[in-house]
A and B are shown apart, each in its own frame.
Chain A
Amino acid sequence: MEHILSLLVFFPAMAGLLGFLVVKESIRAYGICVSAIEFVLSLILWMVFDTSNPGYQFVEFFPFVPSYGMNYYLGVDGISLFLIILSTFITMIALIGLSIEKEIKNLVITVLFLEMTMVGVFVILDVVWFYAFWELSLIPMLYIIGAWGSANRMYAAIKFFLYTFSGSVLMLVGILYMGYLYHDATGIWSFALPDWYALQVPFDAQLWLFGAFFVGFAIKVPMFPFHTWLPYAHGQAPTIGSVILAAVLLKMGSYGFVRFSLPLFPDASVYFLIPVAIICIIMVIYAAMIAYAQEDMKQVIAYSSISHMGIVILGTFAMNGEGITGSIFLMLSHGIVSGALFMLVGVIYDRRHTKMMKDFGGLASVMPNFATIYGIMLMASVGLPLTVGFVGEFLSLAGFYRINWVMTLLAGTGIILGAVYMLVLYKKSFFGEVVHVENKTLKDLNAKELSALIPLVALVAILGIYPKPILTTIDASVEKMLVLMDQKALQDKTKELLMKANTIGGNH
């Protein structure tokens, strides 16, 4: 178990390289096997993970460039553990549900490389390497959207790439400035995150650094007004691209907030709390309204992603255990649900080659299984109690309630609006008469699609009813982080807010 994290990161990449030697006919099976092994590895990681230890586990450390403090430094804690499992799980599901025939070998190899970068982002503790994985994840996605997408794919792929790249170069300047501050304070170079946690950054520097990191993360999430690349990318991407993009890549941004912004710059986070919360509320309401106006099924889900990510970020900035744990859980549940929804849209797109709601109607009578699963996922997306979506949204909003109840109320309307646009989508597509002749002969889900979707449905139910094992593990690490933030806070205002956020009427 010494090197399980390295194995997790580089196994898919090695498999990808070897994949060049596998013939085209077997490459899909090869991809599924590799991703299944990877998923099992991540489950083993969870099994041997010590839930009572909130710190980093399975730490691997190798000094790469000691004179400049860059190390190969891996570790996993409660915050990242489930995101790793989510990445491996979604990759496996996406490959199982893969229906593309064209250039499939290149596609599978690309997805395996993408898996390496996703897992890498979540396990790496050295910030320069974090940046490296973060940037590397763009290249496979560029290729997936640009090569297998629909008509306007190149524009969408380039827009996606340029947006995220420009955001992250500013983050790079921030990273290097942070390294400089660390060197200034201690006399040694280090880009190791745990070292940085120990550093109290001066308030003015915190504001600038928070800004630099914010741009990088906000574009990735994506937060209003940087969100315009996302509908394009989803609109043009093939199903597997949309699934991975929505389920995992967006989470890199929100993970960045939890991992970097809050613990490194507690004062700046509190200082910018209200502006960020306002952006989140705009995201929630504005994106929900746009989603309602869409005619393309996939666009509805794309905009709903933005809306839900708004609640994720709001929960993160609640600065208390409920909010942050809830937001991380919401990342997981949104990963499962949006992944499943995009896959379902892919299913119907494969059959009809259209995603327009007006081309459907009455699908429930033709494809009952499809309609059932779609319905369950819709409910989970809306946040129906006892589904996975409810837990995270409730905790996030409950957490933020202690900061500001008016804003929480506004963000809560997102759930109502979510119910509106999702139910309208369902009504238009699944209920009523079958008006189009082509729809009468549609086949219901086949075995391949069922085997990809049923695990997702099961998770929606299981985690919705009993999320406790996951929540306690996350919570332990989150509490540790909150204590750290409190210790590091320079300003009284920050300490007061943390106190207020974490207690009810002065008591825990």
Chain B
Amino acid sequence: MLEPISIDIAGLNLQALLPMAILTIGALALICVDLAVKGLNRSFLTMITILFIVLDFGAVIGYKGDVRGFFDVLLIDGISLIAQVIILVASALFLPLSMSHRHFREFKMAEFYALFMFMIVGFQCMVTSDNLILIFIGLETSSLALYTLIALHNRAKAFEAAIKYFTMGALAAGFYGMSALIFYALTGSVEIHQIEQVLQERHFEPLVGVLAATIFMVAALGFKLSLVPSHTWTPDVYEGSSAPLAGYMSIVPKIAGFVVAMRLFEMLIASGVVWLEYVLYAAVVLTMTLANITALVQEDVKRMLAFSSISHAGSMMAAILIGTTQANTALFVYWIFFLFTNLGAFTMLWIVRHRENLWDERYQHPYTKFSGLVKIMPMTATIMGIFMFALAGMPPFSVFWGKLYLISAAINSDYIWLAVVIALNSAVAVYYYMKLVVYMFLHEPVTIDARLYATNASTSLKVIVGFAAIVTIFSIAFVEPLLEVITHYVASSGF
């Protein structure tokens, strides 16, 4: 006979659900409105979505409840708040890219915006829980929405990308399920903190089981975070998606994945299961190095940016490997700066998008397309150049400060060789970023028709680029406040 369950409604801490609820309601409302009113303009849809994101942002910032909520499956600690802020800010900044000069079919459909909001809800679930099942639900909600969003771009390459992403994602989901299953079988719980407790009491015995669960989890998250060797989908998917979505994918799903990885792996690394540390160490070094070397030979800027984002993800995994408060702070600082710079770079690609592949049969953005851009559009070329140098980690631009703090975190925890590898990799990386700068500034222009480069430019795109450029250039002003806030939140949640 089951015990009757009695629950106090106040004990549920329902306001913990509020952020996710806002966007869910928003998405449903948008679908209903679309049923009633036909032909809503994309500007209306975009702005309404942004407003819902703003409301959500308010709910996240203003949250003052318990750390636990809703049958203890929700965990609203410091890193979850930071991650949610990053996710929401990135979403609000990438969404206005729909208001480009030229019209695209997907941005006319209300479904796009509804799916976009569902996707954000999924990411929020991933970061605000330490329950393996809720994380899984979040992961799947967001991924399924994202596959569809990619396919909505309605090009042959977009379908290819969506299917490729879907297949790989399904495989990853399978691995995730296996891992969660083994953890449950071992410990009788699906909550990370309880798993940790039980495993620690038993000194991580039986080791075979723990290792199996861990390796499945590394594989599952490896797909999402595009770690070598499960990174192969990334460049194709980025190439097939529209530039705004590709940029979005390089930031938001990954930060959600990092938070999950942080919760799981840092517990396991701290356990002293040495083997996992080696596996992660190898994955980190390989991810950074191989992605960088592959990026060297790319002929298309978007593919180059895809490989470079894999390499950046590798550095982030280094932070998780190190696992100190400083390293975790470095992860968030790095990712925030990377967000703005990558936003700028992908928006630039979006601006120079042309309907036809004028420069190359195979690629949309070959390097040759940007030849001599400084002589055609000096301002565009200069800003793009700054984004490239910032991504390469040139001081004093944004990503440098994240990298600096990360290398410092590595050194402070005696990971000297890891620090050297990160540093050498940024020397390799500078070559392919510089390649674009060399094309823009040193080569002679192929065409002198500036209009070809601005067919998709619109005021809202220019505003976004300007905003990203200002943050990138004056990033030093944000370093101190960011460090203070993030260190506080990370430390308060025990990482």
Contact = CB atoms under 8 A, between A and B. Distances in A.
Real binding pair: yes
B395 A136 contact: yes
Given A136-B396, A147-B442, A180-B412, A173 B479 contact: no
A66 B476 CA distance: 12
B373 to A, nearest CB: 13
Majority secondary structure, A binding face: helix
B315 to A, nearest CB: 13
B99 interface: no
Given A161-B434, A173-B411, A176-B408, A166 B424 contact: yes
A449 B349 CA distance: 45
Interface in A155-199: 157-158, 161-162, 165-166, 169-170, 172-173, 176-177, 179-180, 183
B367 interface: no
A139 B442 contact: no
Contacts of B423: 169-170, 172-173
Given A139-B389, A139-B394, A67 B484 contact: yes
Contacts of A176: 404, 407-408, 411, 419
Interface string B367-410: 00000001100100000000001000011100010001101100
28 contacts: A64-B480, A65-B479, A66-B480, A67-B480, A67-B483, A68-B405, A68-B483, A106-B378, A128-B404, A132-B395, A139-B389, A139-B394, A142-B434, A143-B441, A147-B441, A154-B442, A158-B434, A158-B438, A165-B427, A166-B427, A172-B404, A172-B407, A173-B411, A173-B416, A173-B419, A176-B404, A176-B408, A177-B416
B427 A162 contact: yes
A153 B394 contact: no
Interface residues of A, number: 36
Majority secondary structure, B binding face: helix
Interface of A: 64-68, 70, 103, 106, 128-129, 131-132, 135-136, 139, 142-143, 146-147, 153-154, 157-158, 161-162, 165-166, 169-170, 172-173, 176-177, 179-180, 183
B424 A180 contact: no
Given A169-B427, A180-B411, 7 more contacts: A64-B476, A66-B480, A131-B395, A143-B442, A162-B430, A173-B416, A177-B411
Give the contact-size bracket for chain B.
35 or more
B438 A154 contact: yes
Contacts of A136: 394-396
Give the interface centre of A64, A70, A180, A183 by most chain B CB atoms within 10 Å. A180
Nearest to A130: B395
Given A169-B426, A180-B408, A65 B420 contact: no
Nearest to A103: B375
Interface string B418-435: 011001101100110010
B407 A153 contact: no
Contacts of B426: 169
Contact of A173 (B375, B420, B442): B420
Contacts of B408: 68, 176, 179-180
A131 B476 CA distance: 14
A103 B441 CA distance: 12
B219 to A, nearest CB: 32
Nearest to A132: B395
A106 B378 CA distance: 10
Which 5 A/B pairs are nearest by Cβ-Cβ distance? A132-B395, A146-B442, A166-B427, A169-B423, A176-B408
A120 B395 CA distance: 13
A128 B375 CA distance: 34
A169 B404 CA distance: 10
Give the interface centre of B375, B395, B424 by most chain A CB atoms within 10 Å. B395
Contacts of B394: 135-136, 139
Contacts of A170: 420, 423-424
A128 B426 CA distance: 17
B333 to A, nearest CB: 11
Contacts of A147: 441-442
A173 B408 CA distance: 8
Nearest to B413: A180
Interface in B439-459: 441-443
B220 to A, nearest CB: 33
Contact of A162 (B374, B419, B424, B431): B431
Nearest to B431: A162
